[in-house]
Amino acid sequence: MLKLLFAIPLLLLPTLAEAADVTGIPKIRDGDGLTIGNTRIVAFDKKTGNVIWWGSGNYRVKDTYYSSPVVAVIKGQRLILTGGGDGCIHAFKVRTGEKVWSYKLEDGGGAINCSPVVKDDLVWIAHGEENVGDGTQGRVVCLDAGKVVKGQPTLVWKHDGIKVKFASPILDNGLLYVCDDAGKLYCLDAMKGGEPLWDFAYGRNTKGSPVLADGKIYVSEVDSKFHILKPSKSGCERLSQVRFRPTGVAPVELHGSSAIVNGRVYFTTTTQLICIGKKDHKAEPDKAPAPVQEPARDPKAAPAHLQVYPSDITLKPGEKVDLKVYAYDANGRYISTVKVDWSRKGMLAPVFPIGLTAPKPIPGAKPPPPLAGTFSADSGTATTFTAAKEPNGQFGTIEVKAGDATGYARVRVVPWCPSIRTLARCPWGGLRPVGSTPWPSSPSSRCPMAQPPSASAMTTPVRSWPGPMPTSARRMPATIPPKCR
């Protein structure tokens, strides 16, 4: 059985739930984490570390970000939603990594740092950067993710001018609580157009997200303070405020959120881990609400997505890997293993972000060569791929087809070391600086390493282009190891 492991580089670990217990397919289980790089999201097998899938938002990344992903069932699809460093919120199918939709909030080169809040088909999220379209800063939005048109959810309402740069929202009894970056708590009517009901200035600088428990909001302030607030529909009351004084020159800061369990509130400062609560108090934790269930899958549904496992492979020349393929329906639910045709292809073409124009192909250019190697079976639900011993290093893909559905795995064949890379095998005139004129037709006037190497030539400094060599240039070995020729 394959199980997914995710890990967030920023140590933000969400809880993912999986309802059905289906044997033999990739799964996401409680306690697994998530790795997000740029606008991409990757799923790993928790037992082996193999990559199960990659997903991409396809927008240009302009900043780092801190959004923790959220999993929800929306209109029959189990999705994982996250903000990104491209000013968007994205939704992907949990089991396949297919992007379902994106919505761009920010237009000035910033990120969506807070996490979304989901109820039924509605999604609330905010940011503190420049807004799309009007140049103002800060926006809170409500999206109907059950109504997706041309890859974008429908906007229900928006409220501009609240700079929610880091802290994630709270949704409670139809009220949406958001903290801006200046230490002010806002209450909006989540279900009636986002109407502002009140605001309360509790501090000056906020990064940690507020947490609601027992009718109270627990929130930290960067400037050395921790607050307990009691909100209602009509206003907010401060119950407690504690300042942490430094013991040295550096001030004490609070950047994170609280963790609350069994009547205890845990939070950290830059110098301490703190727990507050009654010493002898014993309290049973509240029961978590039942998750929204997916509709029952049809085992006879036509495959809409084929998933090759593992989907990202690193080998050395002559090494082999066992491959399997799984079929999923249009909603990203597992159907079964499926018989496919296996084939070797070249490298995939680069995907340019939305809004950028890809360069035109060079006339007459040849496509990358297909991946060199063999299959133990050219059709079936599984096969073994063996990378060819030559060339010593290559890139390519393994493609599968079943009916109208296709899938692929990306393969890197890493050279055996030591591996010598020279210009000796570059085609005549095929290597020159961008924007320069073509190389002269005479080989003697080109880079000396653009000619077949001899034993004496292999002891000369390595040159990339004609001209003086830096004194730190290293020398190459007098002979080329057989595996590197």
Q: Is 484 helix (H, G, I), strand (E, B) or coil?
A: helix
User: 0.85 exceeded by the pTM?
Assistant: no
For residue 67, the Cα-to-chain-centroid distance in whole angstroms is: 10
Span 205-252, pLDDT tens digits: 899 999 999 899 999 999 999 999 999 999 999 999 999 998 888 899
Dihedral sign, Cα of residue 377, residue 383, residue 388, residue 394: positive
Give strand pairing partners of 79: 72, 93
Under a CB-based contact definition with an 8 Å cutoff, are residues 150 and 162 in contact?
no
CA–CA separation, 318 and 316 (whole Å): 6
Q: Enumerate the CATH 2.40.128.630 domain ranges in the chain, comma separated.
A: 1-165, 168-279
* Every domain range in the chain assigned CATH 2.60.40.10: 305-358+366-413
CATH code of the region 305-358+366-413: 2.60.40.10
Of the pLDDT bands very low, low, confident and very high (cuts 50, 70, 90), residue 425 is low
Domain 168-279 fold is Lipocalin (2.40.128)
CATH topology of domain 1-165: Lipocalin (2.40.128)
Q: How many CA atoms lie within 13 A of 247 on its CB side?
A: 4
**What percentage of residues in the chain have a pLDDT greater than 70?**
79
pLDDT class of 168 with cuts at 50, 70, 90? very high
Split at pLDDT 50, 70, 90, the class of 38 is low
The reported pLDDT for the residue numbered 178 is 96
**Ramachandran angles phi, psi of 457, nearest 5°:** -65, -30
